[in-house]
Structures are given as structure tokens and as C-alpha cells.
Structure 1
Amino acid sequence: MRNRMCMLDCIVIVGIMAFSGCATPAQKKQLQVHTEDIRGHEFETPKSAVPSEGSLWTDAGRVLLFVDMRAREVGDLVTVRISEKPTGKLYAKTQTSRDSSIEAG
């Protein structure tokens, strides 16, 4: 009886393995990539006024706060400097003691 149960279990396991090999693999879903035109914030440069004769302020001395001419276009190089000063401390103190005694009587 026990031998028959073992044989039946083996047949069932082999059958499951055979049929699982016929299963089709799950289809991978294609992710849709949105390739919309993405633009950052763009600031308009104000038009310079025509300087009047005798003016103290000139266009050469003007500094715009929100306009940076460095790395403005696609493909411009940007240098990023990362400065790290990692510190660490390694301290280990181990203290062990043992007290044993034997009495025989």
C-alpha cells in the first residue's frame, strides 16, 4: 500500500512538471514613454532702454539677477565639484573575566 502511494505521488509530480513545461510565459507589458517636449522655466531678458545723454547708468554696468549665460544651451558642459570630508572613529574595548571552581568531596 505504501509503495503504491509513493508511486502515485511520483506520477502526479512528473505529470505536473510535464504540463508546466507547456505553459506559455507571461507577456511583458510595454511601457508607454511620453516624449513630449519638456522645457524648463524661461525668463525673458528685458529690452534695454536707449541711454539718454549724461546718464549715470550704462548697459555695461547692468547685472541681471535671473539670467546666467553659462551652460545655457543643450550640449553645454557643466562641471560639478563635490567636496567630501568623511570622518570616522573606530574604538573597540573588550573585557572578559572567568571564575570557576571545582569541589569534590
Structure 2
Amino acid sequence: MMRLPLFAAAIALLGLAGCASTPNPADAVPPVPQLTPAQPTAGAIFAPGQGLALFTDRRATQVGDVITVILSEQTNAQKQATASTGKNSSIAIGAPSLFGGAVTANGLEFLAAEVDADRSFAGSGNASQSNSLTGSLSVVVTEALPNGLLVIMGEKRVRLNQGDEILKISGLVRPEDIQPDNTIASTRVANAAISYSGKGALADANAKGWLARFFDSKWWPL
């Protein structure tokens, strides 16, 4: 009688494991960039840090400045592997003798034995992946590091008829890599974290259900 409750408990645990949902990266809200606070003027007509020199490069290098990242990401990966093994072995055991004569039954040496083994394995696999992302995204300089690098962070949300499209990027850039028009290539962003995700009817249609995730999980024994 104890088997039925244990079986029911096992089914319940498997169901809960299948119902586990994966977090949607679109739900995560990035921190608000820390902009430069306003400096007190102390009664002067010129505020420190707000001067505009005639011959100064106006590239975005200060906290709070806006930089446009030109997205030009393309990756290609391919892997192929093959393996084969084989082994043959043979063992022969002669019939023993008793009192100088062979042990037989109906004229057959039934104690003689011979074993042959043949094992072989052959396997192959290949995988390929290609990704491409183009476009542009304006980001904000959130921090200037002591070594001169700039921390950037930005996000773009586009609401369409069937859902939202979210593009996020963050990383480190060198002021020297920023162009005069305040643009920078995404290939020049160090420690780049680029995320392109969706939320809505189209994203839900491309996601697996809980039962399909259970069959693809490590809990499914087959």
C-alpha cells in the first residue's frame, strides 16, 4: 500500500520540475545611469566643468554624455568530430584429458571451448552556428574609470503589434575609439554584453511549453 503514495509523490515532483519557468531577460530592468550632478555656481556666471572652448574636441567622454554604438556583430562557428574503434579477440580452450584419454560424450569433446569477441564503434558529429546583428543604439556614459576607460550602458525598447523588442548593450570603451560624430563600432566595445530579446505573443509562440521542457530536461530518463 506504500507504493501508491510514493508513486504519486514522484509524479508530483516531476510535474513541479516541468513547471519550472526560465527567467525572461526582457523582465530585468537595468539600473538607471548615474548622471553628473549639477555643480553649484557660487554666484559666478561660469560654472566649473561647463565651459566650451573654441578648439576643444567635443567627443563624448564625460559621465552623462551620449554615444551611438554601431552594431556590426557577426560570428560563425563550426565543429566536426569523428571517432572509430575496433577490437577482435579469440580464446580457444582444448579438451582436458583424463587418464591419458580425452573426455568425450557421444564421441564429442564437450569440454573444449572457443570464444570469439568482436567489438567496434564508429561515431561522428558536427555542429555549426552563425549569428548576425546590425543596427545602432545610443548609450550613456555611466562612469569614467581611473585608467581612462568609459563605462557605457544603453537600452532600446520597441513596441510592435505583437509584442516588444528589447535591445541592451553595456561595456567598456576607449575615448580614442570614439569618432568625431560620437559614434563607435560595437567591435571596439570591451567586455560587451549585448542582449536582443522579445516579449509578447511572438516570443511566447517561439518558447517551449512546460511539458516539452520536461522531456528535454535532465530529469527525463530516456
Taking structure 1 as the reference length, the TM-score comes to: 0.32
Normalization by structure 2: what TM-score?
A: 0.19
Larger relative strand fraction? 2
